[in-house]
Structure 1
Amino acid sequence: MTLHIFSQLVLNWYHLNGRKNLPWQRDKTLYRVWISEIMLQQTQVKTVIPYFKKFISKFPNLNSLNNGTLNEILYLWSGLGYYKRAKNIYETAKIIKNKFNGKFPKNILDLVKLPGIGKSTAGAILSFTLNYFFSILDGNVKRILIRYYGISECLKNTKTEKKLWNLIENITPIHNTGAFNQGIIDIGALICTSKIPKCNICPLNTKCIAYKEKEWKKYSFQKNTIKKIKKKYWFVIIYFQNTIWMQKNTIKNIWNNLFYFPSFEKKNDAIQWMKKNQINVKNIKEMNSFCHEFSHFTMYANPILIKLFFKHNCFNTKKQGIWYNLNKPQKIGLPKLVEKILKLLI
């Protein structure tokens, strides 16, 4: 199959079956497509749609986004995960305002320098919005190329990454680039899926090596997966008159810039912390523990509830913390795990 036929098959399939009515595909602008592409990084379309709608309703353009705070952005992002993406959006908006006079850059060399926008994301923004001739190489496209060409070497190898870029850049058509890019993404998302692909209806199956060999598992991202480590955390839920004490995470790890409960890797450390802050540990109530999954580890959460009869001086808003009101919740970024625990309290 020539490269021309490959791209034409993708385009033909897209015109008949491709997704053309997603929220960011309507009233298309560089800004809207940028927000969608950042949200779609490592996240499925069906998950992103409600978050995108909520985000655009609050921040319909760059000007409104620049008038918002990081806390407001994180509040809208709560539950979507990979929170660094939200901070990247916040920082990128400031850079565009200061360096590009508030106008979204159309030059790929400018785009790739912005936080959270790599070569593939920049190509997606420019090809989807302006039909510029730039290729994309997200997880869906990689999976198709790996199976189609029977690439079995280490997927995280720099050499393999370069090979995949060379392949997709040779396949991408100069005309109808945006439609082709969307088409190959859709084939990856809807047909050439990571688990049980629908090879019999794939428009590329006649020359696909994985299909010929009936070995789609052999050409998969699942190889060399690292077994998740397990971590235990104890969370101290300090309750006072329908408010919960939460602190802001300023350390660069999970939940950066989000609010959560005081946490400890050892139960004894949690007990000692409460004693140090003059909390009567005899009144604590251990809630049901539960498992919470992250991309790289599994957390076993153990919430400890303590009800105060008066506010201790050690809990004040000057120490990067707030009293979160359960009746009138503040608009702040909360991890999904925190939301799970809060639901148990209401």
Structure 2
Amino acid sequence: MTIYSFSQIILNWYHLYGRKNLPWQKNKTLYNVWISEVMLQQTKVKTVIPYFKKFILKFPNLNSLSCSSLDDVLYIWSGLGYYKRAKNIYETSKIIQKKFNGKFPKNISDLIKLPGIGKSTAGSILSFTLNYSFPILDGNVKRILIRYYGITECSKNTKTEKKLWNLIESITPIHNTGNFNQGIIDIGALICTPKSPKCNICPLNKKCIAYIEKNWIKYIFKKNQKMKLKKIYWFVVVHFKNQVWMKRNTSKQFWNNLFCFPIFKNKIIAIKWLIKNNINVKKYNIINAFDHEFSHFKLEATPIIIKLSSEETFLNIKKQGIWYNLEKPQKIGIPKLVEKILKIVI
């Protein structure tokens, strides 16, 4: 199949079946597409849509975003995960205001220097909004290339990445690049799926090696599989009336800048912390441990619930955190695991 016919097949398919009514497609601005592309990193469209709508409602433009606080951004982002993306978006808005006079850069070399915007994301932003001829290489595109060209040596490494970039650069058309990029993404998301691909209706199946060999399982973009480490943490939930005490997490490992309960690596350290802060340790309730999955490790969480009869015993460290109101929650970013524990408290 020639380069022309490959790209033309994608364009023809997109014209007939491609997604054209996603929220960020209705008003294609550099800002809107940028927000959607960052949200879509490692996250499915279905999950992103409600978060994108809330985000744009709160921050309709670059100026409103850059004038906000990181807590405002994390609050809207709460539950979407991969919170580093939210911080990157916030930092990028500040840089654009300062370095580019509040105007979103249209030069790819400027874009890829911004936090959270790599080569593929930059290509998406510029091709979808301005129809600039830049290729993209997200997970959907990689999967199609590997299956179509029958690439078996496809571990996640620099060599494979370079090979895939060379391929997509060679087949991305100069004209209608935005439609081509959206079309190949849509085929990957809707047809050439990770599991049980719908090969019989794929427009590329005539010359797809995986389809010809009837063996799509053979052609998988394999990550270097490592057993997920399990990390055990104890969460101290100090509960007073309709409030729980939280502090901003400064750990770089996970949930950076989000608010959560005090976290400890074992029960002994947790109890010592309670004693140090004059909290009655005679009465506490330990909830059964449960697991929470991160992309790179598994967290075993054990909540210790402390119900105070008087707030006075805890006033000495109040300035280090906040009393989170369960009836009228403050607008701060909290992770899903914390929400799960809160449901136990409530």
What TM-score, normalized by structure 1, do the two folds share?
A: 0.97
Query: Bigger shift: 30-39 or 242-251?
Result: 242-251
Q: CA RMSD in A?
A: 1.1
The structure 1 segments of at least 4 consecutive aligned residues displaced by more than 4 Å after TM superposition are none
1:314 paired with 2:316, answer: yes
Q: Deviation of residue 222 (structure 1)? A: 4.3
Q: Is the 8 A contact 2:142 2:164 kept in 1?
A: yes
- Greater mean alpha carbon deviation, residues 224-233 or residues 181-190: 224-233
1:244 corresponds to which residue? Answer: 244
Counterpart residue identity of residue 123, structure 1: G
Taking the TM superposition and a 5 Å limit, the aligned residue runs for 1:62-211 are 62-211=62-211
- Give the SS at the match of 1:315: helix
Secondary structure at 2:206 match in 1:
coil
Query: What CA distance in whole angstroms lies between the structure 2 residues aligned with 1:105 and 1:224?
Result: 35
The Cα of 1:43 is off from its aligned counterpart by 0.3
Letter in 1 for 2:250: T
Residues in 2 aligned to 1:195 and 1:227: alpha-carbon distance in whole angstroms: 21
How many equivalent residue pairs? 344
Q: Partners in 1 of 2:95 and 2:81 — Cα distance?
A: 23
Indicate the residue corresponding to 1:24 in structure 2: 24
Residue 37 of structure 1 corresponds to which residue in structure 2?
37
Distance (whole Å) between structure 2 residues aligned to residue 301 and residue 250 of structure 1: 18
Q: 1:223 Cα deviation (Å)?
A: 5.5
**Contact 1:245 1:315 (C-alpha < 8 Å) held by counterparts:** no
Deviation per CA, 1:151-187: give whole Å up to 9, x if none. 1114322111111111001100111100000000000
State yes or no: 1:266 paired with 2:260: no
The equivalent residue for 1:303 is: 303
Secondary structure of the 1:236 match is strand
Tell whether the 8 Å contact from 2:234 to 2:264 is kept in structure 1 after alignment: yes
CA shift digits 1:176-231 (9 cap, x unpaired): 10000000000000111111111111111111111112221111134642222222
**Which SS does the other structure have where 1:117 is aligned?**
coil
Does the CA contact (< 8 Å) of 1:96 and 1:103 recur in 2?
A: yes
Q: Which residue of 2 aligns with 1:282?
A: 282
Counterpart Cα distance in 2 of 1:92 and 1:100: 11
Partner residue, 2:56: 56
Instruction: Check conservation: 1:155, 1:161, Cα contact below 8 A.
Output: no
In structure 1, give the amino acid aligned to 2:307: K
**8 A contact 1:194–1:221 mirrored in 2:** no
- Tell me the equivalent position of 1:254: 254
Distance 1:223 1:31 in 2: 32
In 2, Cα distance between the equivalents of 1:345 and 1:249?
20
For 1:195 and 1:168, how far apart are their aligned partners in 2? 22
Give CA deviations for 1:265-309 in whole Å, capped at 9, x if unaligned. Answer: 212221122122222211001123322111112222111100112
Q: Which AA in structure 2 matches 1:157?
A: N
Aligned partner letter, 1:313: L
Where in structure 1 are there 5+ consecutive unaligned residues? none
Alignment correspondent of 1:335? 335
- Give the Cα–Cα distance (whole angstroms) in 1 for the partners of residues 53 and 208 of structure 2: 37
- The answer to whether the Cα contact below 8 Å between 1:11 and 1:179 also exists between their aligned partners in 2 is yes
CA distance in 2, matches of 1:284, 1:121: 48
- Structure 2 counterpart of 1:152, which letter? T
Q: Are the counterparts in 1 of residues 242 and 326 from structure 2 also a CA contact under 8 Å?
A: yes
Give, as a single letter, the amino acid of the residue that structure 2 aligns with 1:124: S
The answer for the alignment partner of 2:218 in structure 1 is 218
> Any unmatched runs of 5+ in structure 2?
none
Of residues 95-104 and 260-269 in structure 1, the stretch that sits farther from structure 2 once superposed is: 260-269
Name the amino acid aligned to 1:37: E
Is the Cα contact below 8 Å between 1:88 and 1:115 reproduced in 2?
Answer: yes
Give the distance between the partners of 1:259 and 1:285, measured in 2 at CA: 22
Query: Under a length normalisation based on structure 2, what TM-score does the superposition of the two structures give?
Result: 0.97
Using the alignment, how far apart are the partners of 2:271 and 2:243 within structure 1?
Answer: 21
